[in-house]
Amino acid sequence: MGEAYEALMVQMRELDVIGQISGLLGWDQEVMMPPKAAAMRAEQLAWLSKEGHTRMTAPEVGELISAAESEVNGSEVEQGNIRIIRDSYDKATKKPTEFVEEKARHTSKSIVSWTEAREKNDFSIFRDDLAKMIDMSRQLAGYLGYEDNPYDALLDLYESGLCVAKLDPLFQGLRDSSVPLIKAVSELENKPDCSWVHKHPWPKASQEAFSQAISEAIGFDFQAGRRDESTHPFCGGSNPDDVRWTTRYDEKEPFGAIYGTMHETGHALYEQGRPRDLDFQPAGEANGLGVHESQSRLWENQVGRSLAFCEWSFPMWQEYFPANFEGVTPEMLWQAANQVEASLIRVEADEATYNLHVMIRYEIEKKLINGELEVDDLPDAWDDMYEEFLGVRSPTRTEGVLQDIHWSFGAFGYFPTYTLGNLYSAQLLQAAEKDIGSIDEQVRRGDFTPLLDWMRTHVHARGSILEPSDHIEEATGEQPKPDAFVAYLADKINALYGV
């Protein structure tokens, strides 16, 4: 380890602490902050962004990176750190400090207006802030640069190397494989009766207690984190000792809360499992959004929506919701948790239709960033695409274009990582099963430790040392591909519906 590398790590430590503080302020804004604090919070977050950007783009940092690149002795951690820092520095130096500061300030304001617009079902409240955020995202793409498509510059922020040329054929292939399954299910005359779900209300207090119990059972350490409620579920916090996740509750049905809990717990387990010997180092961070979503989607779907999990958790469902479960069997719970139907809400969609929700957002984002769609036309364009892809149309803006928080903080390019997460999770689960045996058998007896330990070793503890695609190859023996997910989905639909 050379002198320049050590000096660079001191700089990165301070930048990491700034990021941790920003993370806590962002969590507080979503969960605890009083409404009148919004303007001052925007200034706080803007200052932190400016300070972080100024430090990252200092000439001294560039000189240290160049010196460290010639020093690195072959350690994979050092190589990973240098690779990530170089990429971050090159991107940061392309963005004016004033732009970074203003974007952070506007993000804070935009989240507040989105929250109000969503609550009041009034797109006009969010319209101007969204228009500015779209414009700033177009500017950002211009600053970062791209070869073929402005949207590529934004996609690369969330998954290294991701671009339209890769995603277009991937999404088309997934659409071609999933639409026939969805159509076959929709044409069935005899489907499982899931009406029992709507016979009785699902008390919020019981959902909260059940969410806590499920998260703890699959491995979340509440001495190093907490659960809260927010408008849109998310996982945040500052470091592996302070991981904070949220969900939301609806007394008309329980699955949004419970599977939101399992999704965010999956993210949170990843954060708690990061390598502690790499604290404050870029290589110790989680490895891109696709890998992060693989952990959330794995616990939510491959584990949480399995028949084995429904059988194990069934006594808990009965304990927390006795009136709702009179005459209900574990198989009925499994069928209801996996009901395949065209729906409006992405986070509550079944596994067969979920990727179509992502594709809609991907197509819309491409048009927005390329200037082919303007903000005033967005709500109707959203509804039109839902009708085209899923055959449904939203009766409200809240259930339509306002349902996701992502655009309020400028996360254009994020949504495709959910689909990558689906693909990665199926591939990782397949590899894990080869090593640890039948995961269904383990889940059926409530033993989540073997699977979590495997993920800790092969995913969490590896941080960002490798590029995401190389990380998946190291863990599974193959570069990422959709085969495992396509096979998993076909098998599941066959088990549920016999098609």
Closest CA to 76 of 470, 480, 487, 489: 470
CA 283, CA 161: separation in Å to the nearest integer? 18
DSSP track, 76-117: HHHHHHHHHHHHHHHHHTTS-HHHHHHHHHHHHHHHHHHHHH
Rounded Cα gap, residues 360 and 415, in angstroms: 10
Task: Please give the DSSP secondary-structure letter assigned to residue 300.
Answer: I
Q: Which of 374, 363, 341, 373 is nearest to 415 (CA)?
A: 363
What is the DSSP secondary-structure string of 4-72?
A: HHHHHHHHHHHHHHHHHHHHHHHHHHHHT--GGGHHHHHHHHHHHHHHHHHHHT-HHHHHHHHHHHHH-
For this structure, is 264 an active site residue? yes
Angle between helix axes 378-390 and 351-369 (nearest 10 degrees) is 140
Determine the 3-state secondary structure of 279 from DSSP: coil
Q: Which of 78, 101, 264, 285 is catalytic?
A: 264
Do 265 and 218 touch, CB atoms closer than 8 A?
yes
- Going by C-alpha positions, the residue among 3, 131, 16 that lies closest to residue 410 is 131
Integer CA distances (angstroms), 241 to 179, 273, 279, in order: 43, 10, 11
Distances (CA, A) of 98 to 47, 102, 407: 11, 6, 21
d(CA 202, CA 31): 23
Residue 386 near residue 167, CB atoms below 8 Å: no
For residues 363 and 168, the answer to whether their CB atoms sit within 8 Å is no
Separation of alpha carbons 114 and 408, rounded Å:
6
Sequence-ordered list of residues with C-beta below 8 angstroms from that of 277, at least 6 positions apart, any chain: 284
Q: Is 460 exposed, middle or buried (0-12, 13-18, 19+ CB in 10 A)?
A: buried
User: Can you tell me the distance from the alpha carbon of 248 to that of 233, in angstroms, rounded to the nearest whole number?
Assistant: 6
Spell out where 240-384 has E strands: 242-247
How far apart CA 141 and CA 148 sit, in angstroms, is 12
Burial class (CB in 10 A: 0-12, 13-18, 19+), 155: buried
Catalytic residues: 264
